[in-house]
Amino acid sequence: MTALLDVRDLSVRFAMPRPSLFAPRPHLEAVRQVSFTLERGEALGIVGESGSGKTTTAMAAIRLVNAAGGQVLFDGEDLLGLDEKAMRARRRDIQLIFQDPYSSLDPRARVADIVREPMDLMQIGTPAERRRRVGELFELVGLRPDQMNLFPHQFSGGQRQRISIARALATHPRLVVCDEPVSALDVAIQAQILNLLARLKAELGLSYLFISHDLGVVWHVCDHVAVMYLGQIVESGPRDALFETPQHPYTQALLAAAPSLARRKSRGYVRPVKVSGDPAGPIGQRTGCPFAGRCPRVRDLCRDTAPALTRQGPTDVACHFPGPPD
C-alpha cells in the first residue's frame, strides 16, 4: 500500500529584486529538495526555527505556494501535475487549520456559516445535509448547538480554534495540515486543543502534517518528526527515536532549548549542544553543510561537501559526523 503523502525532492524558490538594473535576478531558496512520506492515520511533525522553511514546505505540498520542482504524490497522484479543476476536486481530501484563530475567521459571518462554507463551495450534500453536518461538527469539537448563530468575536481563542477545526473537517478530509495551530493560544488552552486533535486523529483516522516550533507540542501529537534547517531536512525518524537519541547537532540543540521538555529524561537534551553564530543566508548557491557555520563538530569536509540524508541508527541524518553530544 502506498503512503498517503509522498513528497519527493520538493523545491521552492522566490525571485528577489535585482541589486541593479542589469544584474541577474537573485533567488531565495526557501525549500531545497525536501523529501518525506506520511502514512495513513499518522501525524508527521515538521519542526525548526523561524525561517527554516517548514511552513513553506507544507504550503507547497498542498499547492498553496508554487513549487519550483519535485513531486507531491497524494494517494499515488502527483498534485503538482494536476490542472486547476482536478486540484479543486482534491481539496475536499486536504484541509488546513491556520495558526491564528483571531484572523482566520470572517468576523462578519455567523460561525455556522463559516463551518458550512467548504461544503457550499464544493457542493457537498443537500442544504439540509449541510446543516445537519454543521451540528455534528459542533458536537464533535466540543461546542454547543446554541452557539451556532453567534459571531467569532463572541468566542474565546480556544473556542475559535475549535471552530477552525470544525471547518477543516467539514469535507471529510483525509489529510489535515496544521500550521502551528496552538501557538497563538494560552498554555492551558493549548493542552485542550492538542487533546482534541489527538482524539479526532484516533476516532476519524485522520493524517496530520503538523508544523510547529514547539517540540513539546510535537511530542504530544506526532508519530514521526522531520527537523528542518535552512530549507533542508537535517534529521527525520520516529518520534521516540528522534527525541531519545538525536544524531544531528542541530536536533540536539533544539531539544536542549525546549523548556516544555525540561522534565523528560531524554538523552537528546541532557547535555546541551553549544551553538553560536547566525544562519547562512538563503539567497544564492551554497556549498557544504548548511549548519557548518554554527556546528560545534564542524570540519573541513563539512564546509566543502553537503551531507546526504542517510540512515544513521534509528533516524535518517544529513551529517558527516552524527552521534550523541560530545
Q: What single string gives the DSSP state of each residue in 53-69?
A: SHHHHHHHHTTSS--SE
| Angstrom distance (rounded) from CA 29 to CA 127 | 45
Question: Could you tell me if 58 and 216 are in contact, meaning their C-beta atoms sit under 8 angstroms apart?
Answer: no
Cα 1 → chain centroid: 24
* Domain coordinates in residue numbering, the chain: 227-326
| Angstrom distance (rounded) from CA 158 to CA 186 | 8
Question: Could you tell me if 247 and 312 are in contact, meaning their C-beta atoms sit under 8 angstroms apart?
Answer: yes
Closest C-alpha to 61, from 84, 34, 86, 40: 34
Name the helix (H) or strand (E) containing 169. Answer: helix 157-169
**pLDDT at residue number 26:** 86
**pTM greater than 0.85 (yes/no):** yes
Closest C-alpha to 244, from 313, 320, 326: 313
**pLDDT at residue number 162:** 96
**pLDDT at residue number 326:** 66
**pLDDT at residue number 100:** 87
**pLDDT at residue number 285:** 58
**pLDDT at residue number 1:** 64
Amino acid occupying residue 78:
D
Q: What is the pLDDT along the chain (326 residues), one digit of tens a residue?
A: 679 999 999 999 999 898 888 888 888 889 999 999 999 999 999 999 888 999 999 999 999 999 999 999 999 999 999 999 999 999 999 999 998 888 899 999 999 999 999 999 999 999 999 999 999 999 999 999 999 999 999 999 999 999 999 999 999 999 999 999 998 888 889 999 999 999 999 999 999 999 998 888 899 899 999 999 999 999 999 999 999 999 999 999 888 887 666 555 444 444 566 676 667 666 655 788 999 988 988 999 999 999 999 998 889 999 999 988 76
Question: Could you tell me if 205 and 23 are in contact, meaning their C-beta atoms sit under 8 angstroms apart?
Answer: no
Cell numbers for 129, please give them.
Answer: 445535509
**pLDDT at residue number 102:** 86
| Angstrom distance (rounded) from CA 228 to CA 64 | 20
| Angstrom distance (rounded) from CA 70 to CA 12 | 9
**pLDDT at residue number 157:** 92
**pLDDT at residue number 269:** 45
User: 169, exposed or middle or buried, with CB in 10 Å at 0-12, 13-18, 19+?
Assistant: buried
Cα 293 → chain centroid: 26
DSSP β-ladder status, 207-212 and 43-47: parallel
